[in-house]
Structure 1
Amino acid sequence: MNEFLKKGVIVLLGGIIQGLGMGLFLFPQSIPSGGAGGMAILFNHFFKLPMGPALWIVNFSLLLFGIMYLGKRFAVWTVFGMTITSLSIHFFEVYLIIPERNLLFDLIIGSVTLGIGVGLLMRQGVSNGGVGVLAYMLAFKRNILPGKPLFFFNCLIFFITAAVISWKIIFLALISQWMSTRIVDIIYSYPSYEVYTLDWRNKKA
C-alpha cells in the first residue's frame, strides 16, 4: 500500500508539473507540447473534426494500442496522469496569468518543466498520453531511455503537420522537444530513487 501511495503521489506531481509547463508557458506562446496535438491538427484539417474530439480520439486510440502490449494497469495509471495533466493545464491557463511574456523565457522554462513532468511519469511506468505511449512501449521493449523515441515520434509528426498546415512554429516546437526530451532522459535515468514498474515490483534505476 505504501508503494501504491508513493507511486500515486509521484504520478500526481508529474501530471501537475507537466500541466504547468504546457498551460502556463508553452500553450500561451502557441508552442506544441507533443505529437498528439500535431495529429489532432491533421484530423481537424482533413476531416474537419473540432480540436477537442480530435485530440481525444488520438489519445484514446494510442492508449488502446498500449494496453495490448503493456496491460490494463498501464492504462489506468496513464488515464490518471492524463486527467491530472488536463486539469492542471486548465487551472494554469485560467487562473495564472503572466502579464508581460517573453518568448525565450517561456520556451526554456516551459520545455524544462514539461520534461520534468513527463520524466516523473515515465519513471513510474506511466505514459504522458498521446505519442508518449508509443515512446514508452519502445523504451520498455528495448530497454532504452524514452526521451529519444519520444523526440523522434514527435518531430516526425511536427514535420508532417508543418508540411501540411504551416512551417511557422516548427522551429520552436523542435527546440522545445529537444530540451524537454533531454530532461526526460535525465529524470528517467537518475539513480537516487526506486522505480515502480508495470507489474508493481520494485527495481533500482
Structure 2
Amino acid sequence: MVNSFRTYILITCGGLIQGMAMAVFLFPHSIPSGGAGGLAVLLNYWLNIPLSFALWLVNFSLLVAAIKWLGNASAIGTMYGITITSLGVHLFSFPLYRPYENVWIDLAFGSVLLGIGVGILLRQGVSNGGMGVIALIIAKIKEIPPGKPLFLLNGSIFVFTASIIAWPIVIQALLSQWVSTRMVDYLFKLDLYFVKAPFISLRKSRKK
C-alpha cells in the first residue's frame, strides 16, 4: 500500500512536470515534445482541438499496447500519468506562466523539465504515453534505458510535423529530444530507491 501510494505520488509529480514543460516552454513555439506531442500539435493546427484534449486523445490510442506488453498495473499507471500530464498542460496554458519569449531559452528549460518528468514516469514502470509506450516495451525486452529508442521513434513524427507546419521546428524538436532523452537516461540509471521502477528491481532479482 505504501509503495503504491509513493508510486502514484511520483507519477503525479512526473506528469505535472511534463505538462508544465509542454505548456509553458514547448507548445507555445509549436515544438512537439515527442510523438504524441507532435500529433497533438497537428490536431490543434488542423482542427483547432485544445492541446490538452488532443494530447490525451493521442496518448490513449496506444494504451492497448501498454496493457498487452506492460501489464494491467502499468497500463493503469500510464492512464493516470497521461491524464495528469493533460491536466498539467491545461493548468499551465496561460500567459501568466510564460516567463520568456525567446525560443532557445524556452527550448532549453522545456527540454530539461520534459526529461525529468518523463524520466520519473518511466522509473515507475509506466509510460509517458505516445511513443513512450513503445520505448518502454523495447527497454523492458532488451533491458536497456529507454532514452535512445524514444529518440528514434519520435524523430519520424518530428519530420512529419515539420513538413506540415515549418521545417525549423524539426531542428528544435530534435534538439529538445536529445536533451530530454539524455535526462531520461540519467534518471533511469540513477540508483535512487524512491524513483526506482518496479520492473528494474524484478530484473535484478532474477539475475541473482
TM-score bracket for the superposition, by shorter chain length: 0.7 to 0.9
Counterpart in 1 of 2:112? 112
The TM-score, its normalising length taken from structure 1, stands at 0.86
Distance 2:9 2:138 in 1: 25
The TM-score, its normalising length taken from structure 2, stands at 0.85
Distance 1:200 1:75 in 2: 19
Q: Kindly tell me: are residues 132 and 192 of structure 1, through their superposed partners in 2, closer, same or farther at Cα, counting changes over 3 Å? A: same
TM-superposed deviation, 1:3: 0.8
Letter in 2 for 1:101: E
TM-superposed deviation, 1:198: 5.2
SS of the residue corresponding to residue 32 of structure 1 reads coil
Letter in 1 for 2:108: I
Q: Kindly tell me: are residues 93 and 124 of structure 1, through their superposed partners in 2, closer, same or farther at Cα, counting changes over 3 Å? A: same
Given the alignment of the two structures, is residue 197 of structure 1 paired with residue 195 of structure 2, yes or no? no
Range with bigger deviation, 117-126 or 159-168: 159-168
Counterpart in 2 of 1:121? 121
Q: Check the 8 A contact 1:74/1:198 in 2, yes or no.
A: no
TM-superposed deviation, 1:42: 6.2
Q: Kindly tell me: are residues 98 and 162 of structure 1, through their superposed partners in 2, closer, same or farther at Cα, counting changes over 3 Å? A: closer
Deviation string, structure 1 residues 150-203 (Cα, Å, up to 9, x no partner): 000001221233345541311111100110000000011101225242599696
Q: Kindly tell me: are residues 160 and 29 of structure 1, through their superposed partners in 2, closer, same or farther at Cα, counting changes over 3 Å? A: closer
Letter in 2 for 1:193: Y
Deviation string, structure 1 residues 122-162 (Cα, Å, up to 9, x no partner): 00001001111011111011100000000000012212333
Q: Check the 8 A contact 1:73/1:198 in 2, yes or no.
A: no
SS of the residue corresponding to residue 92 of structure 2 reads helix
Distance 2:149 2:156 in 1: 10
- Structure 1, gaps ≥5 residues long: none
Q: Kindly tell me: are residues 3 and 99 of structure 1, through their superposed partners in 2, closer, same or farther at Cα, counting changes over 3 Å? A: closer
- Structure 2, gaps ≥5 residues long: none
How many residues end up aligned between the 2 structures? 202
Q: Kindly tell me: are residues 113 and 4 of structure 1, through their superposed partners in 2, closer, same or farther at Cα, counting changes over 3 Å? A: same
Distance 2:56 2:97 in 1: 26
TM-superposed deviation, 1:96: 3.2
CA RMSD between the two structures: 2.6
Deviation string, structure 1 residues 40-80 (Cα, Å, up to 9, x no partner): 566789xx766457655532221112211111111110111
Counterpart in 2 of 1:86? 86
Counterpart in 2 of 1:69? 69
Range with bigger deviation, 192-201 or 8-17: 192-201
